[in-house]
Amino acid sequence: MIMVKKNKFRIFRDIVLLLVTLAVLWFLGSAMVKSVISAKQPFMSHNGELEEDSNTYLLKPTGPDAVYDGLDLRQYIEGQYTVLCLGMDEEGLNTDIMLLAVFDLNAAKINILQIPRDCYVGSEYTNADTGKINSVYSEGTCSGSNGINKVVTCVRELFGIPVDSYMAIKCTDVPPVVDALGGIPINVPYDIIYEADKIIYKGEHVLNGEQSEWFVRFRHDYLEGDIARIRAQRVFLAAAMQKVKNLGTLKILTVYPTLRNYLMSDLDMSEIGKLCDFAQTVSMENVTVRMVPGEDLEPGDINEYYGYSIHEEETVNMLNEYFRPYQENLYAEDLNINEVKHTATYYDDDSSNFADIANGDVPDIPFREDANTLE
């Protein structure tokens, strides 16, 4: 009898504890949801919203039902939604990572355009002596009331793609965000010696926040410098997307407070939810990243700095094929590309598919002969 009473007491106690735990979880979850809902644009920074795009975008002669995506987003072109993604330097002055993510909402595809930070845009867009696109945010001369709107103007005029929204984060803010996600599982294709005491060994890892920053910023030992870093970042992007696709709603809710501290964006919570839902439906095979065609600039080609010359015709062809699914084709004269040099073609067809990367087919990244090694 004593044992029976003891078991009944334990069962009663466990039920009470379970109910209390559920009540606490419900209270915390409700508080988080309420904070999310009450902040219409919770990631808004001093950059504010994007200014109205007054350009006219000619659409292909397709019936409206054929392109209607049903998501009710604030977008310039039905069926397509474009986010400008920026990675800022430590000071928040230069955009050292620049991506255009074009969501093809009807075809369930995402095409990502990598824009090398060293692209030469000249004095029409920046006061910086380098003339590079990464300086437009802080030293822009084009239209726009602030840094983000100047960058959007520049990107829009160079590539003819309407930008619907933006997301930006400083490189030094990557670690807490990655840590909040629980790290990024990734197969590192080679040893990375960021510094003598900051090493990531080749092989399978779950990168923490600090290691993730090393991975995406490393370039010292790459033979092709920043271009090679762009390719390496594809490996991280593919792994990060797979991680986010695997996250559940509860985990996303727990990450929200961290994101709010570090992410800058004009997206509202409804748009974020719709885009996240869409991303869940996109297979890794349908996510492709391409780099702007061009070639390296040497000191003396246009100024005293190294840089990157965009190839006009190749860029137009790539944009028409992959980044303008519902728009009429562009011509070179429609864009404002300053092509300084066109003597090589080795970067004119540089792309990777996320599924291929996940299966081990990573971009080729040669190292310098004098690179630090662990051998």
Is 19 within a domain?
Answer: no
Structure tokens at 367: 């190292």
Whether 51 maps to a domain, the answer reads no
- Please report, for residues 45, 168, 256, 262, 329, the alpha-carbon distance to residue 42 in angstroms, rounded to integers and kept in the order given: 9, 13, 10, 11, 36
* Those residues with Cβ within 8 angstroms of residue 312's Cβ, 6 or more apart along the chain or in another chain: 332, 335, 337, 339, 342
Instruction: Classify residue 313: in a domain, yes or no.
Output: yes
Q: Is the dihedral of CA 198, 203, 205, 209 positive or negative?
A: positive
Report how many domains make up the chain. Answer: 1
- Helix, strand or coil for residue 67? helix
Overall residue count recorded for the chain in this entry: 375
| 85-118 per-position pLDDT tens digit | 999 999 999 999 999 999 999 999 999 999 999 9
Calpha distance 254→149 (Å, rounded): 31
E strand or H helix at 358, and its extent? helix 354-358
More confident residue, 298 or 4: 298
Classify residue 290: in a domain, yes or no. yes
**Inside any domain, residue 52:** no
Structural domain for 276, as ranges: 64-358
Residue 173 has pLDDT above 50, yes or no: yes
Could you report the per-residue pLDDT of 120-140, keeping only the tens digit for each?
A: 999 999 999 999 999 999 999
Is residue 136 in some structural domain? yes
Instruction: List, for residues 11-34, the tens digit of each pLDDT value.
Output: 445 555 555 544 444 444 444 444
Q: pLDDT for 194-241, tens place per residue?
A: 999 999 999 999 999 999 999 999 998 999 999 999 999 999 999 999
| Higher pLDDT pick, 127 / 364 | 127
The closest of 300, 291, 281, 282 to 340, measured between CA atoms, is 300
b/e 150-175 (16+ beta carbons within 10 angstroms → b): bbbbbbbbbbbbbbbbbbbbbbebbb
Q: What percent of the chain has pLDDT over 90?
A: 67
In a domain, 179, yes or no: yes
Q: What is the structure's pLDDT at 39?
A: 52
34 lies in a domain?
no
Structure confidence by residue, pLDDT tens digits, 238-297 = 999 999 888 865 676 678 788 888 999 998 878 887 888 888 889 999 999 999 999 999
Say which CATH number the domain at 339 has. Answer: 3.40.630.190
Question: Is pLDDT above 80 for 312?
Answer: yes
